[in-house]
Amino acid sequence: TLSPATDPAHESFRMPVQVAIRPQGAARSPEHVEYRGYAGQLASGSVRVGDEVVVLPSGLRSTVAGIDLGDRSLDVAVAPQSVTIRLADDVDVSRGDLIAAASDPVALRQEVTALACWLGDEPLRPGARLLVKHGARTVLAMVRSIDGRLDPDALRLAPADELGLNDIGRVTVRFAAPLPVEEYSTSRRGGAFLLIDPDDGRTLAAAMADAVAPGEHPHHSSTP
pLDDT at 28: 65
Q: Mind listing the pLDDT tens digit for each residue in 166-218?
A: 999 999 999 999 999 999 988 889 999 999 999 999 999 999 999 888 877 66
Cis upstream peptide for 57 (omega within 30°): yes
Q: Mind listing the pLDDT tens digit for each residue in 129-174?
A: 999 999 999 999 999 999 999 998 888 999 999 999 999 999 999 9
The helix/strand/coil state of 31 is helix
Kindly provide the residue ranges of all beta strands, DSSP E only, lying in the chain, ordered along the sequence: 14-16, 19-21, 37-41, 46-48, 52-56, 60-69, 72-74, 76-78, 82-87, 98-101, 109-118, 129-134, 137-151, 156-158, 168-179, 192-196, 203-209
pLDDT at 83: 98
Report if pTM > 0.95: no
pLDDT at 190: 93
Instruction: Decide if pLDDT at 1 tops 80.
Output: no
Task: Provide, rounded to the nearest whole percent, the portion of the chain with pLDDT above 90.
Answer: 76
Q: What is the CA radius of gyration of the chain?
A: 19
Q: How many helices (H) and strands (E) does the chain have?
A: 0, 17
CA distance 108 to 179: 5
pLDDT at 215: 72
